[in-house]
Amino acid sequence: MHEDYIATIGLEVHCQVDTSSKMFCGCRTSFGEEPNTNVCPTCLGLPGSLPVLNKAAIEQTVLAGLLLECETPEISKWDRKNYFYPDMPKNYQISQFDLPLCLGGAVPLSDHNYPRDYQKNIANPGREIGLTRIHLEEDVAKSTHLENASVIDFNRAGTPLMEIVSEPEIETPEEAFAYLKTLQQILIYGGISDADMEKGQLRCDVNVSVRKKGTDELGTKIELKNMNSISAVRRALHHEIERQIDVLEEGGTHVQATWRWNDDTGVTEFMRGKEDAHDYRYFPDPDLLPVRSGDIVERMRQHVPELPAEKATRFEQNYEITDYDANVLASDRALADYFEAAVKSSQAKPKKTANWVINTLLRHLNDDNLAPSASPVSPERLAGTVDLIEAGTISNNQAREVFEVLWKSPERDPAEIAAEMGFEPADTDAIDAFIAEAIAANPDKVAEIQGGNEKLVNWLTGQVMKASKGKANPKQVTDSIRSKLLS
């Protein structure tokens, strides 16, 4: 970004609430059904139909507010937001205006949720981005635009939808990326939503403006739509900020409007002039009573989980693993649960279990496009594999071969697989002989080790592993070499 300009960014995140039925009717909210099958007179907006509040959606939204340290007003009410769009058949959306379910709060920007290529250069680590509000409303239908026509699927219409509105405090595309990653994790941890952008469960509108440094008045706001991933938000912001600066540098001005992001071409495109708030014409919904929130808030406090940042800190302290490992494991609630179950089942140090979960399990899950909760290998089986290494029964490389078999036949026992593959531990006397031989054959390396270059111990360990054809336990070999040369 041009160093003479400042960007101001605010995000409006729409998140589908994980409920079995829609916001104001009993239709299912399942994904991937045949078009226009999960519908009824209420979500189709037919005359004479009346809305009925979804208690679970209200509770989940209040829980989201608790996770993000929002305040919940004692009274919350429902409003009609009037506008014409083909995906809203009533020509109004039941939403919330002046008395939403949640006010204030903040999203902490976890350092580990910034883009990887930016994590070593975070300008303002430890920042929090304030929230304006979280309100609950009904989702609209899904429009698909074809070459000569548009088609509408009303299955999504009426799905409970939280709108989480940030303060205009985000300063860079990278902060926007970290905000969305952190928010997504928190919503998933709370069981509020799967927050899957590919399924439309999490959608983001971006408001961005630029102004010269030294000026207090914000620039003209441009809204960006059509972002289908968190990385796309980052790309769109980088392009749009530069576009706005170029216009101002050439003496031009901006008009408040809505633009769309074209991820294929990597540019933003004009969509329509921006409506002002009075164009929506809110008024209280006469069919829905206000909600008293006191009892709901107290009830949902009992459901506040340990959040990713808290879990990562506990992992680091209790299991003596690195900050990086703790944050990778805590980034996904199912992965964190898997790790803790494996640690409880293993005799090895948690650090070794963490290495196997991160380096081996995650690689297999990614290769097969599986979530941690769908892992064919149970935490107990992975722990059993790690324990074979710890006991000196098999080497680390042999354990990887065992795990490959286990991945395809997860019901089998790791020890049985190791025995079947002929991975019997080498005779202790034979290993001692290999160690003595390696020491005798490399006096120059031995002299360097005893002179302070302890890294060469690993080199000698490698020679012993070759001689034993991988059967020796590398940790035991290293400990033995250290004992012989450094004690």
Comma-separated ranges of CATH 1.10.10.410 domains in the chain: 428-486
* Cβ proximity of 73 and 293 under 8 Å: yes
Q: What is the mean pLDDT of residues 138-146?
A: 91
Position 31 confidence tier, pLDDT thresholds 50, 70, 90: confident
| CA–CA distance, 96 with 98 (Å, rounded to integer) | 7
pLDDT (average), residues 332-343? 96
Tell me if 427 sits within 8 A of 469, measured CB to CB.
no
Q: Specify the higher pLDDT residue, 280 or 143.
A: 143
Residue 365 has pLDDT above 90, yes or no: yes
pLDDT at residue number 469: 74
What number is the average pLDDT over the span 181-194? 95
Length of the chain: 487
Work out the angle between the directed axes of helices 456-467 and 443-450 (0-180°, nearest 10). Answer: 140
Query: What number is the average pLDDT over the span 81-85?
Result: 83
Instruction: Mean pLDDT check: name the lowest of 88-92, 369-373, 426-430, 450-454.
Output: 426-430
pLDDT tier, 117 (very low <50, low <70, confident <90, very high otherwise): very high
Has residue 113 got a pLDDT over 70? yes
The reported pLDDT for the residue numbered 53 is 97
The span from the CA of 246 to the CA of 271, in Å, is 20
pLDDT at 3: 77
Stated pTM of the model: 0.85
Look at residues 412, 359, 335 and name the one whose alpha carbon lies nearest to residue 381: 412
pLDDT at 128: 96
Architecture of domain 428-486: Orthogonal Bundle (1.10)
What whole-number distance in Å separates Cα of residue 473 and Cα of residue 329? 27
- Whether the Cβ atoms of residue 384 and residue 354 lie closer than 8 Å to each other: no
Instruction: Extract the tokens encoding 425.
Output: 């531990």
Dig out the tokens for 237 from the structure.
């912001």
Out of 47-51, 204-208, 230-234, 427-431, which region has the weakest mean confidence (pLDDT)? Answer: 427-431
pLDDT exceeds 70 at position 1: no
Q: Tens of pLDDT along 150-163?
A: 999 999 999 999 99
- The mean pLDDT of 169-190, rounded to a whole number, is 96
Per DSSP, 190 falls in state T
**How is residue 21 annotated by DSSP?**
B
Q: Is the pLDDT of residue 168 over 70?
A: yes
The predicted model gives 442-461 an average pLDDT of 87
Tokens of 154: 């009303």
**Cα separations in angstroms, 347 against 338, 388, 391, 404:** 16, 10, 9, 22
Tokens of 464: 């012993």
Quick check: 276 pLDDT over 60?
Answer: no
Q: Kindly list the distances between the CA atom of residue 177 and the CA atoms of 56, 84, 234, 478, in Å, as whole numbers in the listed order.
A: 29, 32, 6, 44
pLDDT given at position 427: 65
pLDDT over threshold 70, residue 424: no
Task: Give the DSSP letter string of 128-184.
Answer: EEEEEEEEEEE--PEEEE-SS-EEEETTSTT-EEEEEEE-S-B-SHHHHHHHHHHHH
4-13, 207-216, 391-400: least confidently modelled range:
391-400
Average pLDDT of the chain is 91
